Amino acid sequence: MAKLDPTQMADWQIAEAAEANMKTVYELGEELGLEKMELLPYGHYVAKLDYLNILDRLKDKPDGKYIEVTAVTPTPLGEGKSTSTMGLTQGMGRLGKSVIAAIRQPSSGPTFNIKGSAAGGGLAQCIPLTDFSLGLTGDIDAINNAHNLAMVATTARMQHEFNYDDDILASKNLRRLDINPRNMNMKWSMDFCAQALRDIVIGIGGKMDGFMMKSGFQITVSSEVMAILAVATSLADMRERMNKIVVAWDKQGNEVTTGDLEVGGAMTALMARAINPNLLQTIEGQPTLVHAGPFANIAIGQSSIIADKVGLKLADYHITESGFGADIGFEKFWNLKCRFSGLTPNVSVIVATIRALKMHGGGPAVFPGRPLDAAYTESHPDLVEGGVENLIAHIETVRKAGVNPVVCLNHFYTDSDDEVEVVRKAAEAAGARFAVSKHWELGGEGAEDFAHVVVEAAEEKPDFKFLYPDSDPLKTKIEKIATEVYGADGVTYSQTAEQKIKTVEADQELSKLGVCMVKSHLSLSHDPSKKGRPTGWTLPISDVLTYRGAGFVVPVAGDIKLLPGTGSNPAYRRIDVDPESGKVVGLF
């Protein structure tokens, strides 16, 4: 393959060139030691893996080292977690290590909007890019269909109960659920950013056209079904969780679940193939698992437990990525994913860039699509110095979990040595190992030093511990996250939140569940305008949602939308198909 220059080529062009030399899934399967029937091909370069047979066959094999990737607080400049995950995987491959990665499947919302597809970038990407970005093997479609089937079951039952008396319902072997149309827990699901559908009215027409009520949509990656795919440990576990989803409350205030609607089995049937992880590869041919795709600001933000368990059996090093900064993605990995999986991480990588730290240090505002201010391309160690407090906060969070932290400076060719030295000194003073990685520019070759540092850190035994025990009251769990991870002075609760917390704490099962916070990813606080390491603030909890099936309670901090909006300059304007070759162009 000819030398690729990421400073002169778009990511999709680099991916297209690399795809000419891809390994087939059969070659990847042979390298991983998979048996023939454990590989479920979707064409030549993508496959699903029969997780059940793999885990059963390798049940006595020791797990590999478990490495998590998180980051500083995100900025519009991008920190490069996926890029760094791919770079580290490629770097370990260059060192001759047995390595596999797990990342989340991208949502069509950001892919066609502003953020892009999250395959990585430069010379550190997951390929084939088009398959990865545009639907893959249909997992998100399955989630969407399963979620919407629950809504079909709910609204159909409401219509029939409105139209029929108890005798007719009994003749159809139905009991009256008496669902309160003003107290719904779910909305309809779609995998696009469509702000016009956040709040709608359905059932307009005659009595056979449905029950008229307010409703709306949420993005598929925020669905509890997606969360269940991320945390389920088996198909049996998924089936049990699918029956516990709370769709609404009845007029007496009791939960109405998918089990009550007798729809959980059909939902699981739609998900039966999706539970198997997808196998792709880096542009340098290392195996990469892609499975589940929940956002971290409005959901759990993790690739699946099943993918991690498979990766830990198939390789000596398994690298998994969590969404957004350590305050959100790592915190949920630490206190939710690890609690569900029983797995203990050896290392957490905290990705940072000079440009992001400059913004946290008071650098000029950045807007997608507009030229960067010179402050971000010229040397300004003073701005970096101001921003390292944000990095230090994330290092402290990882260390609080008893996990070994490694700071990866995702290097840009405009970074100066003086700026890099500021970050090195701050990271090491805060108790983290430090590595500069040039994987974006040089691929695995540029990540070798980074890989060496991570391998060294993985040899140290972690002293892993959760932030809170299951037995803590809900408010105590919320307040520990707010004060010990976010840095808040305290927490306030709306009247709605107070009432729902009382309901949760009165329920013995719910009161023991973990906490999956909904919070802005753009700040350690709930206010996205507060950069760096804000002090002197209080976290406001406006609502508390119940995700009984996924196994957590969801406090909502501030005003967060479960369906993002499409911006004025979305990515779909640049995505097209080459009519001669049939190849998709313009993805990033």
Q: How much is the pLDDT for 1?
A: 54
Q: Which residues pair with 540 in a beta bridge?
A: 492
- pLDDT at position 191 over 60: yes
- Would the CA dihedral through 301, 64, 436, 460 be positive or negative? positive
Indicate the pTM of the whole model: 0.95
Return the SS3 of 313: helix
- Among 16-30, 69-83, 426-440, 451-465, which stretch is predicted with the lowest mean pLDDT? 69-83
For the chain, what percent of residues have pLDDT higher than 70? 99
Structure token pair of residue 469: 């025990």
Active site positions, annotated: 81, 83, 104, 115, 296, 324, 412, 440
Specify the range with the lowest mean pLDDT, choosing from 112-121, 231-240, 267-276. Answer: 112-121
Rounded distance between C-alpha atoms, residue 366 and residue 369, angstroms: 9
Q: Which helix (H) or strand (E) holds 248?
A: strand 246-250
pLDDT tens-digit readout, 69-97? 999 999 887 789 999 999 999 999 999 99
| Structure tokens that stand for 544 in this block | 């508390």
Return the pLDDT at 395.
98
The Cα–Cα gap between 61 and 483 comes to 40
- Find the range with the poorest average confidence among 6-15, 214-223, 428-437: 6-15
If you average pLDDT over residues 25-39, what whole number do you get?
Answer: 97
Task: Specify the 3-state DSSP secondary structure of 49.
Answer: strand
- CB under 8 Å to 290, separation ≥6 — which residues? 102, 103, 104, 105, 126, 132, 136, 277, 278, 279, 280, 303, 307
Tokens 């892919």, located at residue = 111
HEC-encoded secondary structure of 355-381: HHHHHHCCCCCCCCCCCCCHHHCCCCH
Residues in Cβ contact with 186 at an 8 Å cutoff, skipping those fewer than 6 apart: 147, 150, 151, 154, 218, 224, 245, 247, 248
On whether the CB atoms of residues 282 and 127 are closer than 8 A, the answer is yes
Strands 278-282 vs 255-257: parallel, antiparallel or unpaired: unpaired
Residue in this structure with the two tokens 């195996």, named with its chain if needed: 287
Q: In this predicted structure, what is the pLDDT of residue 368?
A: 67
Distance between CA 479 and CA 476 in Å, rounded? 5
Cα–Cα distance, 164 to 226 (Å, whole number): 34
**Whole-number mean pLDDT of the chain?**
94
Q: Under a CB-based contact definition with an 8 Å cutoff, are residues 339 and 466 in contact?
A: yes
Domains of the chain listed by start with CATH number? 25-137+274-458 (3.40.50.300), 139-261 (3.30.1510.10), 478-557 (3.10.410.10)
> Per-residue pLDDT tens for 336-394?
999 999 999 999 999 999 999 999 999 998 876 678 899 999 999 999 999 999 999 99
Is residue 45 within 8 Å of residue 128, measured between CB atoms? yes
Give just the sign of the alpha carbon dihedral 424, 426, 427, 430. Answer: positive
Average pLDDT over residues 495-501: 95
In the chain the first and final C-alpha atoms are separated, in Å, by: 21
441-463: b or e for each residue (b if 16 or more CB lie within 10 Å)?
A: bbbbebbbebbebbbebbeeebe
What are the tens digits of pLDDT across the range 107-139? 888 888 887 778 899 999 999 999 999 999 999
Q: Which residues of 165-196 are buried (b: 16+ CB within 10 A; e: fewer)?
A: eeeebeeeebeebebbbeebbbbbbbbbbeee
